[in-house]
Structure 1
Amino acid sequence: MEAASVLGYQVNDLARGLLANRSRLVGLIVTKPEVGFRAHLVAALTRLLIKRGNIPFLINAGSSEQELSAAQTALFGYRSEATIVLSGSPPASLVELARLNGQPLVMIGRSEADCDHVRINNHGAALKAAALFVLNGYTRLAIAGSATGTPSLVEREQAFVSEARRLGATVDIAYCGDSDYAGGQQAAAELFGRKSRPQAVFCVNDLIALGLMDAARGRFRLRVPDDVSVVGFDDIPESAWDSYQLTTFRQDPGEMAARAVRQLERRLVNPLAAPSTVQLDPEFIVRSSARLVIAD
């Protein structure tokens, strides 16, 4: 042991795991893991998995065929013992390949057959956003969505538009090229460049909301919330900055990660258990970006 200490020797846990037919690797499949809420969720997952004794293995699925092929080789070449797929746009083909390789799968913010899931109540939150706008007298509404078509964002968009129109409001839709800050500025140019501007905007995530607010104030000289109210989704740390004070729906990355790890543990203990879904309700965080009176 003294010699090992002097030499800086460390046990090769990967080799030990292979001998025991258990790698302890857990693959995290995600597209653009550095962006917005996903970055905080990845951080929370890696902390919990390391604490549990696993080795998190981040797979950036990318957007091209070459990147996808490299992701598949990495994920299955190292024989991870389980896989967690985060919301975003990792293709269904990668999920199906993981399933065929016999890996336990936990899906976060997605909907795939015969898998365990952790979901946020996107539908309920979007309904609440629409109802609050209408109850506060806003009749010209808008939604800043994303052309990426990820499941969570599509669910928020569809529920908001349907409920707002059911309540008698008009709804303009602006699709950002991507669900990021630049996308929010693009949405602002589309929505506020029109003759009839929306009175209130629901953004499908906070990064879009921040870009939209900056463009509204800087390029179009609009006051937030006096001229336009803005509500986002995620509650990333930047949302609480003095420059934004964004009203938003909070997803708790720590809670979502903990639920995903519990789903994983349940599946590893009982591989034949029926698929399980955990749905979490996002907390509505009221700040000053939206002029709203909220009834008790």
Structure 2
Amino acid sequence: MNDGPVNDGKAPKKERMRFVSAEQVAQLAGVSRSAVSRTFTPGASVAAATREKVLRAAKELGYHVNDLARGVLANQSRLVGIVATRPEVGFRAHLAAALAKALIRRGSFPILINTGQTEEELLAAQKMLIGHRAEAIIILSGSPPPSFLELAQRNGQPLVVIGRSEPDADHVRAGNSEASRMAATAFCKSGRRRLTVIGSNSGTPAIVERESAFVSAAESLGASAVVARGGDSDYQGGVTAGRALFSARIKPDAIFCANDLIAFGLMDVARLEARLRIPEDVAVIGFDDVPESAWLSYQLTTFRQDPLVMAQRAVDLMERRLENPDSPPAYERVIPELIIRQSFKP
């Protein structure tokens, strides 16, 4: 006879995972529930002997304070929304990671909200943004639509934007125009005269600023300057723009790319399809200094945006806004540094 469990054809019940509660700690420590709460509340009064018993019981049970629930009760969620479109791409990925680290150091809970690119995805992301009662919102460069900013502002959430201009928001921006003028000047001083800047049809504020500043500076120095664009500000955008440029009768001898991903696509087309030498036939400068820029395949000369610096500036602005809600919008500008590698040496 089989004395084991009877199999009645039903799948075994899945046991619900339960976190250790403050009540369980109180029972094990032999104290009240409020004593446990006071022990884990900074500045609250609790006897030393009681504190010791509570901490010993908490350690034995593996208890941790539910900071999220405590924040909701105090109307301070400590959640900070990081809003981005395609956050996995290029510099945005490194900036999102740096923001998460800076916010965790501060004691905040970063929540990454990918806006998506369809109407359904946008609506779901907006619902997430407001439904979680974020303490503040940080919106990255790229193309999160203005509706996200309007929604945050209507709900009274402090707002910091990175790499774009928005009214009534605190800003962190790279020195796009300064870098673009520096690139055009460096090309002209090295004797290059057929200059091109590659942007994208996405038309983000940072891309537009880099394009216009480069063209203006080049023309003021007596060089011709052309704007080329791929579909988006990514590797394929650089491939598309490169194929168009290098199939033309007159080819550029120097190209400033609005970001490094565009530069990588352009450089691969130049060398592998157009059989051009870099920098002898065409010099290339990028923007961002993502880690791949230093790879032996590229050795890209580029302007460095430091994601750690940008992230900390954004968090500083957020804290300033939380402390002084009625202060006028603040503005931080971070000037990129030109990192010299093999694709162009001034």
- What TM bracket, shorter-length normalisation? over 0.9
Name 1:215's counterpart in structure 2: 269
SS in 1 for 2:88: coil
Letter in 1 for 2:165: S
Q: CA deviation at 1:11?
A: 2.7
For 1:169 and 1:264, locate their aligned partners in 2 and report how far apart those are by CA, in whole Å.
43
2:130 equivalent among 59, 70, 76: 76
Q: Which shifted more, 7-16 or 20-29?
A: 7-16
1:255 equivalent among 300, 304, 309: 309
1:31-110 maps to which residues of 2 (within 5 A)?
31-110=85-164
SS in 1 for 2:172: strand
Name 2:292's counterpart in structure 1: 238
Contact 1:24 1:81 in 2 (8 A): yes
1:225-254 deviations in whole A, cap 9, x for unaligned? 111000000000000111111111000000
Name 1:185's counterpart in structure 2: 239
1:25-55 deviations in whole A, cap 9, x for unaligned? 0001111110100111000000010111100
* Runs of 4 or more above 4 Å deviation: 1-9
2:210 equivalent among 156, 161, 164: 156
Contact 2:302 2:338 in 1 (8 A): yes
2:318 equivalent among 252, 257, 264: 264
* 1:117 matched to 2:177: no
SS in 2 for 1:289: coil
Q: CA deviation at 1:291?
A: 4.1
1:218-229 maps to which residues of 2 (within 5 A)?
218-229=272-283
* 1:165 matched to 2:165: no
* 1:136 matched to 2:190: yes
For 1:186 and 1:99, locate their aligned partners in 2 and report how far apart those are by CA, in whole Å.
38
Q: CA deviation at 1:172?
A: 2.4
1:195 equivalent among 238, 241, 249: 249
Q: CA deviation at 1:3?
A: 6.3
SS in 1 for 2:95: helix
Contact 1:226 1:291 in 2 (8 A): no
Contact 2:301 2:345 in 1 (8 A): no
The structure having more radius of gyration, on CA atoms, is 2
Contact 1:188 1:215 in 2 (8 A): yes
Identity in percent: 60
For 1:9 and 1:71, locate their aligned partners in 2 and report how far apart those are by CA, in whole Å.
33
TM-score, normalised with respect to structure 1: 0.96
Name 1:277's counterpart in structure 2: 331
Name 1:17's counterpart in structure 2: 71
Q: Which shifted more, 98-107 or 173-182?
A: 173-182
Structure 2 stretches lacking a partner, 5+ long: 1-24, 26-55
For 2:222 and 2:209, locate their aligned partners in 1 and report how far apart those are by CA, in whole Å.
20
Name 2:14's counterpart in structure 1: none
Contact 1:129 1:231 in 2 (8 A): yes
For 1:212 and 1:59, locate their aligned partners in 2 and report how far apart those are by CA, in whole Å.
31
Count how many residue pairs are aligned between Structure 1 and Structure 2: 292
Q: CA deviation at 1:4?
A: 5.4
For 1:166 and 1:246, locate their aligned partners in 2 and report how far apart those are by CA, in whole Å.
26
Contact 1:83 1:98 in 2 (8 A): yes
SS in 2 for 1:224: coil
For 2:126 and 2:295, locate their aligned partners in 1 and report how far apart those are by CA, in whole Å.
39
SS in 1 for 2:198: strand
SS in 1 for 2:341: coil
